[in-house]
Structure 1
Amino acid sequence: MVDLSEPLSAFMARIAGPGSLTGLARLSGGANMESWAFDWAGGGYVLRRAPSAEYMEGRPYGHPVEAALVKAAHGGGVRAPEVVGVLSDSDGMGTGYVMGRVVAEVSPAKILPEPPSSLVADLGRELALIHALPRAAIPPEIPVMDTAAALAELKARFLTYGGDRPAIALAVRWCEDHLPEPADPVLVHGDYRMGNIMVDAGGLAVVLDWELAHLGDAHEDLAFGCMTVWRFGQLDKPAFGVGSLEDYFAAYEAAGGQKVDRTRFRFWLVYRTLWWALGCLQMGQAWRSGADTTVERVVVGRRTAEQELDLIALLEEEAPEAERARPLPTTGEAAPVPVGEPTNREIVQAVRDWIEGTIKPASQGHAKFEAVVAMNALGIVLRDLDAGTRAEDAALSQALLAGRTTLAEPGLLAKLRRAVLEKCAVDSPKYAALAAARAEWGG
């Protein structure tokens, strides 16, 4: 890893004047980019950078364009970070930019139990402001999303990844059958959710992570933060895990946002859940290709199961009432208690216990985060060795994609429910929606 102290000091001296670098520490969050907090001349800052130049390949725009967009949003009254400088090749730190640090809470686990009373209204208002940014203020490199083309690209990626996950195939076909008419494009943040906003006692303080921004349908942004996964266990509060959709939509419309179309909103809720399911699979591909060899990538690659569970929960209303009432098929028998030499499961358990008892307590900062990720990875392996559960079914997936099979087929919904329950129990047993689905489906 590059030692950032010297090049970052030189960079800050050039853009902010004399000072000394203190408190440099990598922040634990950030699934895609590195974030480093530091102080300079009495001020707090954050460096956002790519872990490697290769990591930015294939993206529609780089950090200079992203920084220009964040500046435009900040200048337009959006609670975006204040960009103070953009890295160049000569700075020797890869690509990225430096922002003023905002002192507020970002962890959903800390925000959601007792969110500020204004937060739902803040989220609606801020999104309306983002969508109202004039086209002339937006960097010309920001792409326009063609929904039909984007869906076709998701389908192509699914086929590249094997095309053999029935829940994903079902969602692809549903989106094809329910594709909305094109909308007048607005600036879409693209990742507007809990985890990418910071909150203080006064409410929403700043909107982070603009790397997925594009021009497109406002309902994409409206729906994304309402996905089950981004409610972080607050399943009874469909708007960001904070409140009701009615209050969220009312705040958005009152701040100048367009009238919310519930049918269009539902399409995007399904589409973005599908998008994230494939995004998780893509994380595994990034590790497999060597583009990103962190353990976090392979663990996130197994979170596809969460989205498959959510897709079935979203789409089951398409099935006849009799199929929704059908009981689940039974499961297999438990594995026998091992005897003799240590099994693969017991070896993995020993390594996981060692990390938990020795490595994790001695670690700090990002290293401690990595130890937890490694424990999670080994936990998945342990449960997988016990269950032997697989999600692949190429024949069923192809039938669903082609429309030859639908949820009207007797027993299919019950089969899909059982499959996603068992896979999610292996990959994400603490996922809140898993317990809710078990209670509802009798699993």
Structure 2
Amino acid sequence: MEENIKESLGRFLSTALQANSVQVVRAALLSGGAVQENWLLDLQITGGPFDGMLNTVLRCDSPTAGVAISHGRAQEFALLQTVFNAGVAVPQPLCLCTDLSVFGRPFFLMRRVAGTAAGHVLVKDTRYAPDRAALARQLGRELARIHSVKPPVDALGFLANYEESPAQYRIQTQRAFLDKHHTAYPALEWGLRWLERHAPARGDIALTHGDFRTGNYMVNENGLTGILDWEFAGWSDPMEDIGWFCAKCWRFGRDDLQAGGIGLREDFYAGYESESGHTIDRDQIHYWEVMAHVKWAVVAIEQAQRHCSGEENSLLLALTGHMVPELEWEILNMTESS
């Protein structure tokens, strides 16, 4: 990060954090993230409520356009504030900046939490949260706390409201994308038709994370430290998050551990049910796992298109597109008997 940018950030953060002065003593771009950028910032703060050294993460827009359905940083900051106030284990949101003269892009700052979020590491290395049954239950409890936020919420007025069932709303969204895309995907069309035929009626509506999975939470040797990445949150059926977390495409090869590749379903369900006071309808989970594979396939196509179109030269985005055939195969396997 260039020195003039550090100085600009220091001036802005001095005001935002009610400090006499803020110096950026370390700045490093963190790996991962095909849609957003995350910067590690160590701040030396003089005066105010955060006096001393403060370890933070700056989250900003990608230099090029992100996935169309993702929220902007101001919206994600509002979501983070809402769930933080609801008692969800998330990094503390600190401040938001929409003035492009400060960093060149909108951003928000949050406290840095310890651990790793790398899914391929977490499913194999049990030095992180060695009690995996406890981790699964803890994740279930945190998801239930997220779902305790019900509409309307004034600060979340930007979230889409719709009259149809969440299932039908998701089907329409995925179909609209595929109808406009230059390449046909018959297996995904089959999946959408199956989802249409088996769609559950509109029921309980709650705030859903939209990407609640291994890879989007931080874990250290003691357990869960924070839920990350709120850019796809919205009002939906709570079962959508549960199906997404348990879907095979997010187990990172640990298909024996169907709760995110880190634990057993029943431990995850038990944590959710103990916190929410509601029994999970097991019959609905299969439906939302099929939905998860269709949704992820569509997102993968969209991300690959960003590379193939020349919009963003990214090996990560290009490789994401190669996941689609495996997702199609799983959709066919999951729907062949019904």
Task: Give me the TM-score of the superposition, normalised by structure 1.
Answer: 0.67
Q: Which residue in the other structure is 2:57 paired with?
A: 46
Cα-to-partner distance string for 1:34-77 (whole Å, 9 max, x where unaligned)? 0000100111110100023x626954742212101101111111
Alpha-carbon distance in 1 for matches of 2:67, 2:271: 38
| Residue of structure 2 aligned with 1:125, choices 141, 144, 149 | 141
Q: Which residue in the other structure is 1:370 paired with?
A: none
Pairing 1:8–2:28 present: no
Provide the secondary structure at the position in 2 that maps to 1:317: coil
Does the aligned pair in 2 maintain the 1:12–1:40 contact within 8 Å? no
Deviation at 1:257, TM superposition (A): 5.0
Does the aligned pair in 2 maintain the 1:281–1:304 contact within 8 Å? yes
Provide the secondary structure at the position in 1 that maps to 2:25: strand
Residue range with higher mean Cα deviation, 141-150 or 173-182: 141-150
Alpha-carbon distance in 2 for matches of 1:35, 1:66: 13
* Structure 2: segments with no counterpart, 5+ residues: 45-52
> Higher strand proportion, which one?
2
* CA 1:11–1:294: 2 relative to 1, 3 Å: farther
Letter in 2 for 1:139: L
Does the aligned pair in 2 maintain the 1:7–1:93 contact within 8 Å? no
Does the aligned pair in 1 maintain the 2:140–2:272 contact within 8 Å? yes
| Residue of structure 2 aligned with 1:116, choices 130, 138, 147 | 130
> Higher helix proportion, which one?
1
Provide the secondary structure at the position in 2 that maps to 1:307: helix
* CA 1:196–1:58: 2 relative to 1, 3 Å: closer
Letter in 2 for 1:36: W
Alpha-carbon distance in 2 for matches of 1:275, 1:303: 12
Matched residue count: 317
Does the aligned pair in 1 maintain the 2:36–2:66 contact within 8 Å? no
| Residue of structure 1 aligned with 2:93, choices 68, 83, 102 | 83
Deviation at 1:159, TM superposition (A): 2.8
Q: Which residue in the other structure is 1:19 paired with?
A: 22
Provide the secondary structure at the position in 1 that maps to 2:65: helix
Q: Which residue in the other structure is 2:157 paired with?
A: 140
Residue range with higher mean Cα deviation, 110-119 or 39-48: 110-119
Provide the secondary structure at the position in 2 that maps to 1:20: strand
Alpha-carbon distance in 2 for matches of 1:60, 1:232: 23
Q: Which residue in the other structure is 1:105 paired with?
A: 116
Alpha-carbon distance in 2 for matches of 1:92, 1:26: 14
* Structure 1: segments with no counterpart, 5+ residues: 319-443
Provide the secondary structure at the position in 2 that maps to 1:23: strand
Alpha-carbon distance in 1 for matches of 2:277, 2:6: 44
Q: Which residue in the other structure is 1:337 paired with?
A: none
Does the aligned pair in 1 maintain the 2:24–2:42 contact within 8 Å? yes
Q: Percent identity?
A: 30
Alpha-carbon distance in 1 for matches of 2:310, 2:15: 35
Letter in 2 for 1:31: A
* CA 1:263–1:306: 2 relative to 1, 3 Å: same
Letter in 1 for 2:188: I
Does the aligned pair in 2 maintain the 1:144–1:185 contact within 8 Å? no
* CA 1:56–1:14: 2 relative to 1, 3 Å: farther
Q: Which residue in the other structure is 2:31 paired with?
A: 28
Q: Which residue in the other structure is 1:62 paired with?
A: 72
Does the aligned pair in 2 maintain the 1:131–1:187 contact within 8 Å? yes
Q: Which residue in the other structure is 2:48 paired with?
A: none
Does the aligned pair in 1 maintain the 2:5–2:102 contact within 8 Å? no
Letter in 2 for 1:225: F
Q: Which residue in the other structure is 2:315 paired with?
A: 295
Q: Which residue in the other structure is 1:254 paired with?
A: 274
Deviation at 1:309, TM superposition (A): 2.5
Alpha-carbon distance in 2 for matches of 1:126, 1:229: 21
| Residue of structure 2 aligned with 1:222, choices 236, 242, 254 | 242
When Rg is computed on C-alpha atoms for both structures, the one with the higher figure is: 1
